[in-house]
Structure 1
Amino acid sequence: MPPPSQPIGERRPRAQVIDHAWRDLGAGLESLSGPGGAPLTRTVKLIVLPLIVRPALHAELAADFLRPAEAARLDALIRESGSLLTATAQWFTLLKKARRALGVVAGNPQDLYFQRCFELATEHGAPPAGADEVARAVVEELVHAGGGRTVEALKDCLADPALRARLAEELAAAWESRGPARDAAEALAPAAEVLETCTAPEPNPSAYARMIELRHGELFGRVVWAQPGGVWGGAEPPAHLGLTARPVPPRPEIGRGASTATLPAPLDRTLFERLFVVLQSSARREELPTVPELVAREAGRSCAPLGLYDESLRVAVVLGACLAVGLDPLGTGAPGPARTAAHKVVNSRWRREASVLRARRMTVSPQPDPDGGALDALAQDLRTPWVPYMRRLWVRLHGRDVRGAPPADLASVWAVLDGVARSVMMDHRARVRAALRALSAAPATAADAAEPRSA
């Protein structure tokens, strides 16, 4: 039987079924939806799938492509939950209002409040009289549950001159004590075998286990420290696949601030920037170490191979790198490592995307972009897909390392690798849609500006 990620007969993508059912629910879901009316990615991830679809209880709805009966069942589940979802959206609006009133800035509100709002909607329905006080209490409770694990606490901790001096000494010593690099081929040799088997219903874990035992992740991390190129058999891509914007990663600095809009490449980030991302994205900050513990461990972690402590997570980076360098959304057949079963699954999914098909036409056409260049940059992104893939993969693996949550087995690693590929693809799709909306709105705006107006 073909893998569940491939369409068969009349099967429909589960994401498409969710999108259509969601849009048909009508008004009232704006705070849980994107500009185009589709559910936000976090809405699907945190509410729709775990709390409404519940694949653990409905295994037939866990596949990426659904038969007609399964698609109808999923559609019905979402429609039956319409009033509950509307109430969830109303509670989320209230919690955000309470958050602003309390001056809370730490964490992503969607990560922190989505599931709690669903609980409130299940318990109370639409917000009743006095709901403002309930919302305020919930926000205060979640702040307290974080145990001081906030960006402000991190800023206060790293403002201590004595601590900064000690950290600077530790970083310098750890960076200077790094061992020598080894041959890249030695680190990468078994990765293709693992990627060939990881998509099977019963993957063979022996090659993966051998990579961990022989510390291939650490070996590859040392290669990244020392070699700007030549690892993948050509001048491009570089050994680090965009994990740093420099030829080789620099020694980590301590830092004093961070902004999501200006974050550098993962291996170029300061201690503050690395922990800022962790604190901002963690829905359960109470499960994290305290801020002083986070800082102390991050100093050593930032100087470890690939910026990670756990060897299974480093091996996941190696596997992700070998997958990323073979990504070919445009189907150009560019030279590179041999394509494995994992590559075929991910590349075939990308190539079915309408935005990718259009991008392919633009990149091979001798004519200029008919939309005046608005989509050209998005098309060119598909020529270097390893950059967004590796950066997103590293952030997810770093979060696992900080929380002490390494993957349990090869199936778990493949779930992460495949999930990152889907996330990058969905992000690219959203950016294309946003560009098309802007292009379609531009003529109307120009026409409105040209039309005479009277005071």
Structure 2
Amino acid sequence: MTAPRPRTAVIDAAWRSAVAEAIREGDDALTVMCGRDGGPLARTVKCLIDPLVLRLRANPELGQPLLDEETAGRVAELVTRAVPTIADAARWFLELKARRRAAGITDGNIQEQYFPRAYELAVAHGRPGGDAAAVAADTLAQIHGPSSGRSVDDLDAFLDEHLAELDAALHEVWADAPRAGEIDAGAIAEALAGLLGNTTADADRRWAFIAGPSAAPTIGLALFEPGTPIADLLAACGVILDDDQSPPTLSASAPAARPAMRGRDGDAPLDRPISGRVTATLRRTRDREGLPDLADLVDDEIVRSRLPWALHGSVWQAAMLVGVVVAAQLYPLAPRPVPHAFAQALSGRLAAQAHILYHRRFLLAGDSSGDLLVADLREFWRPYVGRLWVRLHGRSVAEPFTPTTAFDAAALLDLLTGIGRSVSYDQRSRIRAAIEKAGR
């Protein structure tokens, strides 16, 4: 029986083979979607291959971190079969990029905005033809057209006009916020052990308990009060931190302080200003006309800032709690035994990724050029918790009343796995840059 293969390796191999074949035939269109090493860009996978080629929502089995021989064959076949369409999408991407530059558009991430649309154009039109410029201009108008008073510039103008009253509303929400109840760390730890353990027979019941009123919301509210709720929960779970390690946090201050209405984003999730949180909502929403007006968006975010974990919805609050506990057990640079089997397995998969296996000996060789990156890898929880909170904030805004029956334990663990994979993708390029800078 063939051993399972990492999904990333299956996609990478199929991609490289198809790109090499295209180049032999004189077609280099796909290079715009490749990294410097010839593999697919992280956003090529995230924004195009996963949602549009593999269609993970409809085929969740294709999104598992490890694929058996049959599933790996399906993934490779789908990627290979889609390459001609992806090549046309790459050509459309260049058309969209050229029209964007001509229009002076700078808002948003160009790959996240245009990779999916470029693929849609490739499916609808094939290779760009004589009308490509007009089609691209029309597509950009749909993406960046009037947003019914809900653009980032509109938000800035709204804040300019109403800052004093909004600041007063923020102060009032924080002054009148409810206090956290008593935390039963032992009961929560027991539920986490069942959810994250080797057996998943009772996982959904454990998950429902964590999303209940006495678990995730209570700890989430305690972040805003004196105490060490996360450290206490980790201790109850049997998670042991080294003397020089800090437990995961969501704010640079303890307890978390009232955020500013405006200003630069802080490094930690709860230190982001209200304006930054609303801006994130605007930027990730393709159809802004479906959003509430700006006044309601800002008011909702002010209220949300003092909810447990600064998230709306018990499911997303619970996902944050579980994610923080998992994050505290991730050591891709030097895996170690941890209490929860899920975290142990995820940490091992992260550590086994080729870029870490190949490069970490250089990063740990004492060269100062890698110090910051080594620290980031050693405290993997920092980027992990940050990215998880951003993802959950988006779900909290769009789907606050999702029940645990609609987002069950399996969906939660898939999400937590995906966050780890996403963070690792981003760190891969930083690792390579550090090695190159050190002249290794």
Q: How does 1:183-194 map to 2 (within 5 A)?
A: 183-184=182-183, 186-187=184-185, 189-194=187-192
Q: CA deviation at 1:62?
A: 4.3
Count of aligned positions = 418
Q: Which residue of 2 aligns with 1:448?
A: none
Match of 2:47 in 1: 46
Contact persistence 2:316–2:392 (CA under 8 A) = yes
Unaligned regions of 5+ residues in structure 1, if any? 1-7, 444-455
Separation (CA, whole Å) in 2 of partners of 1:340 and 1:375: 30
Q: Structure 2 vs 1, CA of residues 309 and 51 (structure 1 numbering), >3 Å: closer, same or farther?
A: closer
- 1:245 aligned residue (252, 255, 266): 252
Equivalent position amino acid for 1:66 in 2? L
Identity of aligned residues (%): 32
The secondary structure found in structure 1 opposite 2:49 is: helix
Give 2:381's aligned residue: 386
Cα 1:76–1:205 shift into 2, 3 Å:
closer
Q: Structure 1 residues 362, 101: closer, same or farther in 2, change over 3 A?
A: closer
Deviations 1:324-377 (A, max 9, x none): 12223344648xxx61122122122123234444676578x7xx52xx333343
Alpha-carbon deviation of 1:294?
A: 1.1
Change beyond 3 A, Cα 1:56–1:408:
closer
Q: Is the 8 A contact 1:85 1:118 kept in 2?
A: yes
Q: What is the root-mean-square deviation of aligned Cα atoms in Å?
A: 3.0
Task: Give the match for residue 36 of structure 1.
Answer: 37
Partner of 1:15: 8
Q: Deviations 1:110-157 (Å, cap 9, x if unpaired)?
A: 232222211111122221112111111111122237444321121121
2:344 aligns with 344
* Kept in 1: contact 2:194–2:206 (CA 8 A): no
* Equivalent position of 2:209 in the other structure: 210
Which of 281-290 and 393-402 deviates more?
281-290
- Among 290, 297, 302, the alignment partner of 1:299 is 302
Matches within 5 A, 1:420-439: 420-439=419-438
8 A contact 2:143–2:286 mirrored in 1: no
2:100 is aligned to: 99
- Structure-2 separation of matches of 1:18 and 1:118: 18
Match of 1:88 in 2: 89
Q: Secondary structure at the residue paired with 1:251? A: coil
Counterparts of 2:141 and 2:175, CA distance in 1? 44
SS in 1 for 2:378: coil
Q: CA separation of 1:82/1:19 partners in 2, compared to 1, >3 Å: closer, same or farther? A: same
1:381 is matched by which residue type in structure 2?
A: D
Q: 3-state SS of the aligned residue for 1:226?
A: coil
CA distance in 2, matches of 1:210, 1:71: 36
Matched, 1:119 2:117: no
Name the stretch that deviates more: 128-137 or 90-99.
90-99
- CA gap of 1:202–1:156, structure 2 versus 1, over 3 A, is farther
- One-letter code aligned to 1:282: T
Q: Which runs of 5+ in 2 are unaligned?
A: 236-240
Q: Which residue does the alignment assign to 1:3?
A: none
The question of whether the paired residues in 2 share the 8 Å contact of 1:145 and 1:286 is answered with no
Residue 323 of structure 2: which of 320, 324, 327 is its match?
320
Deviation at 1:236, TM superposition (A): 6.6
Kept after mapping to 2: 8 A contact 1:21/1:78: yes
Aligned partners of 1:438 and 1:327: how far apart in 2? 27
Instruction: After TM superposition, give the deviation of residue 388 of structure 1 in Å.
Output: 1.2
Specify the SS of the correspondent of 1:38. Answer: coil
After superposition, residues 214-233 of structure 1 pair within 5 angstroms as: 214-227=213-226, 229=228, 230-231=231-232, 232-233=234-235
Match of 1:272 among 275, 289, 314: 275
Pair 342,144 (structure 1): closer, same or farther in 2 beyond 3 Å: same
Cα gap change, 1:203/1:430 in structure 2, threshold over 3 Å: closer, same or farther? farther
1:17 and 1:74 in contact (8 A); partners too: yes
Q: How far apart are the structure 2 equivalents of 1:56 and 1:403?
A: 17
The letter of the residue matching 2:188 is P
**Distance across 1 between alignment mates of 2:206 and 2:62:** 31
Does the Cα contact within 8 Å between 2:191 and 2:206 map onto a contact in 1?
yes
What is the Cα deviation at residue 283 of structure 1?
4.2
